[in-house]
Structure 1
C-alpha cells in the first residue's frame, strides 16, 4: 500500500522551472494582497453552503478511525477506492486497470516517478485520463482526471488523490465517513464503507508483519511451465522449463538437461557422503543461556508413522545418527508439504 505519494502530473508541473514558478506565484500573490491591504479575490461559487450535522452520523459504528473507501464509476463500477488527501496524484493499480479493458491506445507514455512516504521511488507503468463519477443521480459529479498505473500488490483498486478531490470540490468528514460535493441539483453525498477498510487494513498489517518476521510468501512463476522427462525409463525424473522458449532453444535445453541428468539428486540416496567442508548445519547456541526443555507432545498414529518413516529413511543413508540424552529436549515439528512439486 502506498500511503502518501508525491510527484506525478500536478499543477506544479514536472520540471524544476515550473515548480519554482508555482511556488513564486503563490508567494507573490500573498505579498501583493498584503501590500494592498485586502484579501485575495474570491470567486462566487454558485452553490449552496455544505454542512454536516449530528444526525448524519447515524449508522456509523463509533468509535471508529477507518480509512474512507468508496465506490465510483470509472468506465465501470469500481469498488475499493481509497480517498487519500496525502497523495498528489490519483493511482490505479494494474490488476484493476486490466479488468476495465480500456483500449491500450489511450495510455500515455509520458510518466514521472512517484515518491512514497518512506522515500522509496515507485515507477509507474503508464498514465491515462479517465472519467470518474461519484454520487447518485441527479446529485452526482463527473470529472476527467489522470491516473498513474502502478503494478504492485495492494488491498485497493484505486487511490483517489488530492487534485481529483479538489476538482470535484469534495468536503470530507472522517468522523462520519462521509463526503459531500456541490452539484447543479443540490449537494451530493457518498458514504464510505466501514466493514471493508477494517478487513483491508487487517490484511495489509498481516502481510507486513509476515514480511518483517521473514516468512516466505508464496511466489508465482513469471510464465507457464511444462514438465520434461529426462529419462524415459524412469518417468518420475522430471524437471520444469518455461514455455516461452523458442523451439530451437527448447530442444537444446532439453538435450543439455538429459545429457547431464546425473547431476540431479532425485532422492536422499543420490547424496551420500557430503563433506562437511562443502556444507554443514549446526545450531549457534549461546552457552551462557539456560536451555528451555519443552513438554513432551503426543501425536496421533498417522503422525507417529510419518515420523518413524522419515527417521528410518535418514538413518539408513547416514544423514542422521541416534544419540541418547538423559532428559527430553524438544518435540518434532511436523510440516505438511504441498501437493505441487
Structure 2
C-alpha cells in the first residue's frame, strides 16, 4: 500500500492470522478512512496493524470500526448501509470482483501449502481410494464403496 515503516508505531504484540499462526506486526498506524455515496459521507481515523502477509485484501476492518460507523452489512446482497446526517449511505459490492478476490486468496493459500507436510492417505473400511491423473499422481479421491455408478 506504499506505507513507510518510519510512520509505524512499534508494539511488542503478537497477532494470530487466519490460519492461527503467530504473526509479528511490522507496526501500527492510524489512517483516515471515509465512505460515501450521493447521500452523504462519513470519515474517521482508524487504527491498523500492519503485517506482511499474502492476501487478496489490502485492509481488513474490525467490528469496532464497522460499529463506529453504524454499518449494517448484508453479505448475500454484497452491500453495506450506514446513517449519516445527510441520509443513509449504501455501498454496493461487485460480484465479479468479490469472486476474483476469493480466487486470489484461495490460490495464495494453496501456494503456501507444503506438499512434504501432507499426511499419507490411510484406507478406511467402506472407502475406496481412487487415484486421479495416473499411477504417478498424488491426487487421491476417497469414495464410499456403497455409492452407485450414478453417484
TM-score (norm 1): 0.32
| Structure 1 contact 111–127 (Cα < 8 Å) conserved | no
Aligned to 1:200: 101
Q: Say yes or no: does 1:168 pair with 2:69.
A: yes
156, 164, 185: which one pairs with 2:86? 185
Displacement, 1:113? 1.3
Q: Say yes or no: does 1:135 pair with 2:135.
A: no
Q: Distance in 2 between matches of 1:129 and 1:213?
A: 36
Q: Distance in 2 between matches of 1:192 and 1:127?
A: 28
Aligned Cα RMSD in Å?
A: 2.6
Alignment of 1:1-341 (within 5 A): 96=1, 98=2, 101=3, 104=6, 106-136=7-37, 138-212=39-113, 214=115
| Structure 1 contact 129–144 (Cα < 8 Å) conserved | yes
Larger radius of gyration: 1
Displacement, 1:213? 6.4
Q: Distance in 2 between matches of 1:201 and 1:208?
A: 11
Q: Please state whether the residue corresponding to 2:60 is helix, strand or coil.
A: strand
Going by fraction, where is helix more abundant, 1 or 2? 1
Displacement, 1:178? 0.8
Displacement, 1:107? 2.3
Partner deviation per Cα, 1:249-308 (whole Å, 9 max, x = no partner): xxxxxxxxxxxxxxxxxxxxxxxxxxxxxxxxxxxxxxxxxxxxx9xxxxxxxxxxxxxx
Q: Distance in 2 between matches of 1:146 and 1:133?
A: 13
Displacement, 1:120? 1.2
Q: Distance in 1 between matches of 2:12 and 2:39?
A: 35
Q: Please state whether the residue corresponding to 1:160 is helix, strand or coil.
A: coil
Which runs of no fewer than 5 residues in structure 1 stay unpaired? 1-95, 216-293, 295-341
Q: Distance in 1 between matches of 2:59 and 2:32?
A: 13
Which runs of no fewer than 5 residues in structure 2 stay unpaired? 117-133, 135-151
Displacement, 1:119? 2.5
Structure 1 residues 158 and 117: alpha-carbon distance in aligned structure 2, compared to 1, 3 A threshold:
closer
Displacement, 1:207? 3.6
Displacement, 1:110? 2.5
How many equivalent residue pairs?
A: 118
Displacement, 1:136? 2.5
Partner deviation per Cα, 1:55-102 (whole Å, 9 max, x = no partner): xxxxxxxxxxxxxxxxxxxxxxxxxxxxxxxxxxxxxxxxx1x2xx56
Displacement, 1:111? 5.0
Displacement, 1:184? 0.4
Q: Distance in 2 between matches of 1:155 and 1:115?
A: 17
Q: Distance in 2 between matches of 1:151 and 1:118?
A: 14
Going by fraction, where is strand more abundant, 1 or 2? 2
Structure 1 residues 136 and 125: alpha-carbon distance in aligned structure 2, compared to 1, 3 A threshold:
same
